[in-house]
Structure 1
Amino acid sequence: MIFNAVRSDTRNWPPEQVAELFSEGFPQFITADRLVKGYIGRVREFFPELDLMLLDAEEVPVAAGWAVPLRWDGRADSLPSGYTDALVRAVEGHEQGVRPDTLVICGALVTPSLKGRGLAGRMLTALRDAGQQARLPRVVAPVRPTAKARYPLTPIESYLRWRRPDGTALDPWIRTHERLGAEILAAAPESQTMTGSVAEWEGWTGLALPDSGDYVIPDGLSVLRVDRDADLGLYREPNVWMRHR
């Protein structure tokens, strides 16, 4: 089947199509990254050519993905600390007139009913192609390793090394990137930081949080730390930096 990648802002998408596409997207607590909220509007304003939809033959969106451009010297130790820092560097670099040389793939998702058909790889390829058109020779991604939620107590530095008997990555999202030629660069143990009140975290997770302490939460890649006295829940999400070229 032929698929076509277009900018997300090219048309007003039918609400039911968008709802289906994003129905099993990211966990609700992802919205608790306060710093992202301060930058995401400018990301959409500054880099619309890197916010894409993948359409099927009937022009129904079946996948979505987005990226940002920034300047990076190619050294692992000078990477952004993760997803949030990449947005900050991209936006502030753009505002300061810094010429970017690196595409950072920030995320991609597929309509739930079509998972397992290679569309995630097609979406990543479309984003890489957009980076090439923008003359960005390097491509990296702070990958959110989805199966890490099964092992929230395991350090990301250990998890990223786990392999299946055939030698491929245990994590399916890391594996998808590797199949496209990407290599693991480094762990990003604090790619995002989410904060909220205890009541907010109880709403996001569906859990009662009666005492201060650490909690394993649904879809969490690490634990949630709750301080009842301060009425604060703190969650730091790990990612894995991977390089495509």
Structure 2
Amino acid sequence: MNGLQLLLITAATLGFVHTALGPDHYLPFIVLSKARNWSQTKTLWITFIGGVGHISGSVVLGIAGVALGISVNKLETIESYRGNLVGWMIIAFGALYSIYGIYKYLKNGGHTHLPHFLVPKKIRELHHQAITENEQNKEDNTKLTPWILFLIFVFGPCEVLIPLLIYPASQHNTFGVFAVSVIFGAATIITMLTIVLLGYKGSSLIKIKNREKYLHLVAGLMILVAGLGMQFLGW
């Protein structure tokens, strides 16, 4: 087994491990797919596009850094800075989405604890209208949320990829740089898709009455926790 073959095996292994151990790679897609009633196909497409953005950012940085003669330490420092930035981005997104979840909860009648006959007629009508709208619009078609996820993942670093690119680049092996990028990227994206699919299928088995009232809030809180864990616990 030559050096390049060993490097490709390492790239595939690290692509799988760094993705599986990072909840931020798949948790947002799973919880948002349920909160926004995305279909399985739409969920996987958004995950795929997010994964491509995630890999592309680090690949471009790594190749550009090698071409410009930037040291590995400096490239890893840049990736660390990007990791810090994306951690705060996820925290901000989770916090804002939690606020949106509270708004949706209240709008859907989550604040009403009185018996039905004691609730004012206008509030009952608004509540009924909100439920009707939820039933009619089963799948959310908002384009903003997927783009926010894509932007966050473009900034997301792949620290383990940079050292892998150095060896073939130092050997002036263009094919090696390309092969490492493709293998690492494929392993990362396939792992993301697999975990998101399992999470999507698994969450579909959980039946909760009136879950529409608080799904957005739960999604926002889970993303917020993932961001806090990434930022302060090194997830």
Say yes or no: TM over 0.5. Answer: no
Greater helix fraction, Structure 1 or Structure 2 = 2
Greater strand fraction, Structure 1 or Structure 2 = 1
TM class, shorter-chain normalised?
Answer: under 0.3
Higher relative contact order (CA 8 A, sep 6+): 2
With normalisation by structure 2, the TM-score equals 0.25
